[in-house]
Amino acid sequence: MNNKFALFCTLPLLISLASCGEKDERIRVAIGMWPETQQTQDVAMFNIWKMRFETDNPEYQIVAQPYQYDQTTVAANAMSGTLPTIFQTYFTEPTMLIKNRYIREVTDVVKELDYYDDMEPSMRSTLEDSEGLLYGVPRDGYGFGVLMNLKTLNYYGLIEGDYTKHEYELYDDQNNPLYPTTYQQLLELGAALTEVSGESVNGTIFYSANRQGGWLLSNLSWAFGAQLQVQQNGNWRGNLASEELVNTLLYLQELKASGALPQDKNVFTYNDWYNYIGSRVGFVFAGNDVIQNAVTQAQIDRRDLAFIPMPEGPEGQYSLYGGTPFVFARNASDAQVRGALKFLEYMGRSPKLTEVSKLAMVEGKETSKTKNEPILPSIRPWTNQLYNSYADELDEQYVNINMEYFKDFYNTIDDIKHQEEPYFAQEMYDLLDQAVLDSLRNPYRSGEEIMNQLVTLNSQFNRYFN
């Protein structure tokens, strides 16, 4: 009896000892950008990449951990150590993630793998802190532009062509653009669309909430000559109370008063654009990295889309530009980060052009093609010429939108790109949201009234610098 009892007591110990022998000693790398289970084609592709990687790097174990970044849960995930080793976030987030130490710096490992110098410098700077430490690598770049629904514009006679054949004329005989190239022309096109459609379709929408109003306004304001942050005696300060920003808001009010914007609703967020571009507006301000939503969410035929550069204002032409990053969990070890960065090569997302990365790049395009997704060129996050030439070759082969309607955006982005304001950008957008919303609600505000509001907002903003 006693022997049986002793055996019963020691059984769990024996089992646990036996299982110790089976423990996986490999370095575990959790991949947050792993697709969700229902995306079967993508999962199959990732499994191939995992198999190749683990064969070439037997010391590593790749673990699928699909993770959708969420601002409300990232703190809890970071503090409890449950973030994947590597995950993708929005371009607006690194500053907050770095400040709160939810992600780890990876400078040395990135340098060790020779990725650092191949990184597009302006994208790299958005992922660095004030001491020059790097906290991520860019997936790809984004730039603001104007996405046009050519079918709607053609239907109401504002763009030449034939929407039944998906053919449109965006250039004249001398190859000059027929689309709006200035903010004034954009306003006129929007107002005309509202008028000819009998107000059933508006020109566009202007974001005004969730800090996205300030975000878009900042892009417009650069074209009106505004400098939203300036250095005074070596210290950075907010400069929201400026004539240039007043002029930008006056333009916004003109946009509203002219009828180019919806008259009955003023609160819009960035997620609204794909609810409106289908049949309710002619064009929207958007980043090139989300254009596919026009097809997948708004159900627009990809042949009816054009993406043109941000228009020119009185003081220049600018497009807000940045990189969509991959970042790393704060509790990830150097070895895990090294593994995650190496895995990017097997996804075709590192600057290294090897047989395996070439294969992955082709597989990525093929999968998108099979899924009938719009395939667009991307803004390259790396400066490696070999890599970029190969990516260009693949673009030529796989891009399935009419590049005639997109080419000017990609040709001009390098000349007109402008990075986000350097300090407290999110807090600044939050304050500017109020100015945007007030201008939309009351499009007949005088410049003096706007300036009074901006003075108040600027003093609030400068509290952050103090």
C-alpha atoms less than 13 angstroms from C-alpha of 416 in its C-beta half-sphere: 27
Q: Considering the rule CB under 8 A, would residue 295 count as an interface residue with other proteins? A: no
Give, rounded to a whole angstrom, the gap between the first and last alpha carbons of the chain. 77
Interface region with other proteins, contact rule CB under 8 A, candidates 153-161, 257-265, 318-326, 398-406: 257-265
Q: Considering the rule CB under 8 A, would residue 309 count as an interface residue with other proteins? A: no
Q: Are residues 303 and 374 in contact, defined by beta-carbon separation less than 8 angstroms? A: no
DSSP string, 391-424: HHHHHHHH--S-GGGTHHHHHHHHHHEEEPPSSS
Please state the closest distance from residue 100 (CB atom) to other proteins, in A: 4
DSSP count for the chain of H helices, then E strands: 18, 14
Q: Which is nearer to other proteins, 275 or 412 (CB)?
A: 275
Size, binding site for other proteins by CB under 8 A = 30
Q: Which is nearer to other proteins, 79 or 399 (CB)?
A: 79
Please state the closest distance from residue 22 (CB atom) to other proteins, in A: 33
Interface residue with other proteins among 111, 265, 369, 371 (CB under 8 A) is: 265
Query: Residue 391 corresponds to which tokens in the numbers above?
Result: 């990516």
DSSP element (H, E) containing 136 = strand 136-149
Q: Considering the rule CB under 8 A, would residue 130 count as an interface residue with other proteins? A: no
Start-end of H helices in 73-203:
74-80, 94-99, 107-112, 121-126, 150-155, 183-196
Please state the closest distance from residue 446 (CB atom) to other proteins, in A: 19
Interface residue with other proteins among 437, 449, 451, 462 (CB under 8 A) is: 437
Q: Considering the rule CB under 8 A, would residue 434 count as an interface residue with other proteins? A: yes
Q: Which is nearer to other proteins, 75 or 230 (CB)?
A: 75
DSSP string, 285-354: EEEGGGTHHHHHTT---GGGEEEEEPPEETTEE-EEEEEEEEEEBTT--HHHHHHHHHHHHHTT-SS---
Q: Considering the rule CB under 8 A, would residue 253 count as an interface residue with other proteins? A: no
Q: Of 85-124, which residues contact other proteins (CB under 8 A)? A: 96, 99-102
In terms of DSSP bridges, do strands 312-313 and 136-149 run parallel, antiparallel, or are they unpaired?
Answer: unpaired
Please state the closest distance from residue 38 (CB atom) to other proteins, in A: 24
Q: Considering the rule CB under 8 A, would residue 264 count as an interface residue with other proteins? A: yes
Render the burial of 327-341: b for 16+ CB within 10 Å, e for the rest: bbbbebeeebbbbbb
Q: Considering the rule CB under 8 A, would residue 131 count as an interface residue with other proteins? A: no
Interface residue with other proteins among 326, 438, 443, 453 (CB under 8 A) is: 438
Residues that bind other proteins (CB under 8 A): 71-72, 75, 78-79, 96, 99-102, 208-210, 213, 262, 264-267, 269, 426-427, 433-434, 436-438, 441, 460, 463
